[in-house]
Structure 1
Amino acid sequence: MTADVVWMTPAALARLQEELETLTAPGRELDDAQKARVVELRELLKKARAESKPDDGLVEPGMRITARFEDDGTTIDFVLGSRSVLGLDESMDVDVYSPESPLGAAINGLYVGDKATFETPKGERTLTILAAKPAI
């Protein structure tokens, strides 16, 4: 799959499709913001995949990540992906970090067992990837 794929749950995909159907219903007049949203939804739906990702230990969007911070031993559990998309599925009861965030950028493409260091407002932090499982 390419980097242009947007992984999402079936529930999130259904909500996006419903929104597009509502906006494009026959006879509906759209303002400029709604027209822009229709374009955005169509582009997003072209890239959408609502299927399970391979369970291969690769950290990438659509994966649920568990990691341990080296400095204090605390663990963090989150999904790497789009908050705006994953937030559409109310069953997703986990934090979401963007692949473009400092944490997301540092770990994207790593495997279970790998370490990554990234900048936070309080300084550098290093973590170890403990698990990377499909979130969908």
Structure 2
Amino acid sequence: MSETTWLTPESHDRLKRELDALIANRPIIAAEINERREEGDLRENGGYHAAREQQGQEEARIRELQELLNNAKVGVAPAQAGVAQPGTVVTVYYDGDESDTETFLIGTRAAGGATTLEVYSPDSPLGGALIGAKIGDTKKYQLPNGNYMQVTLVSAEPYHG
């Protein structure tokens, strides 16, 4: 399941540094596993099992980062304000209730980096419904329970993470 992810150059560089550090750590983890293996009975060797668990987690993160970076589009935030698209911070209100607002980034959590904003994927029902919407447009999307919700776009500004 590869999806294109929009990344700022800064987010791409941060994720690439994380990937490089994890890859550089591979020999250290392998040495730790070998060292723990030599301690004897593996069934009761907590250090060995902890090192193997860490190795598994790091390898999973390496695969996740490689997939993300291989399918990423790197660029600056969309310059066009007023239209919801990946890389924009949007404010919406729900079901015609202008007091029920939410502001979030349309993108991916990895692309959002250290943002405090909630992040909705363009492939999510809400994110997908908003893509291409202009300020004042009302869109409908399906909730997990099968019901539908209306959402109205109040603002859309390029994300400047």
TM-score, structure 1 normalization: 0.74
Where does structure 2 lack aligned partners over 5 or more consecutive residues? 31-54
TM-fit CA distance, 1:41: 2.4
Match of 2:20 in 1: 21
C-alpha distance 72-58 of structure 1, shift in aligned 2 (>3 A) = closer
8 Å CA contact retained: 2:135, 2:155 = yes
Quick check: 1:80 aligned with 2:106? yes
1:63 aligned partner, one-letter code: T
Indicate the structure with greater helix content: 2
Q: Give distance in 1, aligned partners of 2:19 and 2:127.
A: 29
Task: Say what the alpha-carbon RMSD is for the aligned residues.
Answer: 2.8
Query: Which of 50-59 and 98-107 deviates more?
Result: 50-59
State, as a whole percentage, how many aligned pairs show the same letter. Answer: 31
Give the secondary-structure state (helix, strand or coil) at the position aligned to 1:44: helix
- 1:99 to 1:52, Cα distance in 2 relative to 1, 3 A: closer
Q: Which residue of 1 aligns with 2:136?
A: 113
User: After superposition, what is the alpha-carbon deviation per residue over 1:29-79, rounded to whole angstroms, capped at 9, x for unaligned?
Assistant: 675664554344234224241422122433121111111224322221111
Secondary structure class of the residue paired with 2:24: coil
Q: Counterpart in 2 of 1:42?
A: 66
- Tell me how far apart the structure 2 counterparts of residues 13 and 79 of structure 1 sit (CA, whole Å): 17
Q: CA offsets per residue over residues 70-91 of structure 1, 9 Å max, x none?
A: 43222211111112331xx32x
CA distance in 1, matches of 2:11, 2:134: 27
CA distance 1:93–1:50, shift in 2 (3 Å): farther
Structure of greater Rg: 2
1:60 to 61, 66, 85: 85
2:92, 2:142 → 1: CA distance? 16
Count of aligned pairs between the two proteins: 130
**Is residue 81–residue 98 contact of structure 1 (8 Å, CA) maintained in 2?**
yes
For residues 1-20 of structure 1, the aligned pairs below 5 Å read 5-20=4-19
Cα distance in structure 2, aligned partners of 1:79 and 1:26: 32
Q: Higher relative CO (CA 8 A, sep ≥ 6), structure 1 or 2?
A: 1
**1:65–1:78 CA contact under 8 A, matched in 2:** yes
Q: Of 150, 155, 159, which residue of structure 2 is paired with 1:126?
A: 150
